[in-house]
Amino acid sequence: MSFLTDFAAGVRQMPTMEYWMFAGMALVLTVVGFVAAFRYLHRSRLIQDTPTSKIRSAHQGYVELEGRADLLPGEPIHSELTGSPCTWYSFKVEEQRRSSRNNRWHTIRSGDSKALFLLRDETGQCIIDPDGALVTPSVKSVWYGSSRDWPYGTPAPTTRSLLGGRYRFTEHRILQLDHLYALGRFRTEGGGHHNPDIREEVRQLLNEWKQDQASLLERFDADGDGQINMQEWEQVRRAAEVEVQRQVRERQNGPETHILAKPVHGRRPYLLSTLPQDDLAARYRRYAIGSLVGFLLAGVAATWMLSVRFVF
């Protein structure tokens, strides 16, 4: 009890600027913990409540898939730092910066793969666009070095640390044939499934044509005055409509292509995970519990700091 009494006295005597800095941090952590707890709980419930679809019979929209990660035909994918073969990777290079008070790791370079890859199940295959996904990978490597540039193609050391390493390297990977759980926006193109927005595609094509004024004038400046008048612009618009209709017919007559990507509306998460869905849901529940505990502790700390300063 004497410790709390002495600590309360210290809080009362704390300079105003320092007091509000610590009290503000406690209040911010309270809000962050509350929001994070509900976000993680929402993800856990969403994983549990969304039925798993087969690629062949999946509906258009927000769906859950499970299968194996695989590569598309063509160029292989290699991770940024070690050059290891994979289907997806992310990396981070950090520098340790020392000061009189503490040592901190400062990120100097980071990124992740935007290359498309496949999810396969027993009924078919689906292209995965990983841009914007929350990814739980199967491989995580962390190591240290004395230079900020790790030699590309050099494997990560088997020991976690190299003595005297000022730089920390982190690399995550999803490997070919890893189990893959995916929750995102599913769409099918080709085979008559695609419902195009003709007006939007015409607008985009016209914008592309405008970027090359010389070609536009060569094709549509009938009177040779160096400008596109209203009558000529109508011809440009009709030509764009004809071109878009041709492209749409080609897509619809082609084979079906299934694609999973980030939902258009940000309220629904886009998840890619090498963990089975039950394990992933359990992980998010643990995160929710931890965030809730943090919310309660930070809330108690903020309330206590305010009470000892202003309640007499």
Instruction: Please report whether residue 31 resides in a domain.
Output: no
Q: Is residue 219 part of a domain?
A: yes
Neighbours of 190 (CB within 10 A): 15
pLDDT at 3 over 60: no
pLDDT, average across residues 273-299:
90
Domain count, the chain: 1
Average pLDDT, the chain: 86
Report which of residues 204 and 62 the model is more confident about.
Answer: 62
Between 161 and 200, residue with greater pLDDT? 200
In the predicted model, is pLDDT for residue 44 greater than 80? yes
- pLDDT digits over 96-105, tens only? 887 767 788 9
Distance CA 14, CA 158 (A): 48
pLDDT value for 170: 94
pTM: 0.72
For residue 77, the SS3 value is strand
pLDDT over threshold 70, residue 309: no
Does any domain span residue 46? no
- For residue 78, pLDDT over 80 is answered with yes
Residue 27 maps to a domain: no
- Cβ contact 130:112 at 8 Å: yes
Query: pLDDT grade, residue 117 (50/70/90)?
Result: very high
Specify the 3-state DSSP secondary structure of 254: coil
Q: Does 190 reside within a domain?
A: yes
Task: Summarize pLDDT for 19-34 with one digit per residue, the tens.
Answer: 677 777 878 888 888 8
Range of the domain at 68: 53-275
Whether 44 is in a domain gets the answer no
**pLDDT interval class at 140 (50, 70, 90):** very high
Q: Is residue 59 part of a domain?
A: yes
Residue 40 lies in a domain: no
Cα(229)–Cα(148) distance, integer angstroms: 57
Write the pLDDT tens digit of every residue in 158-170: 765 545 578 999 9
